[in-house]
Amino acid sequence: MSENRVVQGRMVTATRLAELIEGESVMEAESIAEADADCPECGGNVLEVGYMPSVTEFVTGRKCQDCDWAETDRE
Ligand SMILES: [Zn+2]
């Protein structure tokens, strides 16, 4: 169901994008969406994905399509 996107020159699924943000495997990820923001590092396009790193946690992560910049909404 999720649409693949190119991130740093590689086609990624929503799950793979979430794993890039999280730095490890995730249980489940929603579809990739456009974040309404530009990358603070390089000005590139930012993608957003909601995912569950574990059964008890839901995180919204953002990742630049062009560089290593990423963040989550964790407190
Ligand atoms: Zn960037």
Name beta bridge partners: 52: 28
In this prediction the pTM is: 0.92
Task: Collect residues with CB below 5 Å from ion ligand 1.
Answer: 39, 41-42, 44, 64, 66-67, 69
Q: Give the model's confidence band at 3: pLDDT under 50 very low, under 70 low, under 90 confident, else very high.
A: confident
Helix (H) or strand (E) holding 51: strand 45-54
If you average pLDDT over residues 37-61, what whole number do you get? 97
Residue with tokens 């086609």: 11
Percent of residues, the chain, with pLDDT higher than 70: 97
Q: What's the CA-to-centroid distance between 71 and ligand 1, angstroms?
A: 11
If you average pLDDT over residues 23-50, what whole number do you get? 97
Give dist(CA 51, CA 62) in Å, integer. Answer: 11
- Does residue 1 surpass a pLDDT of 70? no
Q: What's the CA-to-centroid distance between 38 and ligand 1, angstroms?
A: 8
The amino acid occupying position 30 is: E
Give dist(CA 68, CA 50) in Å, integer. Answer: 18
CB-CB contact of 46 with 35 (8 Å): yes
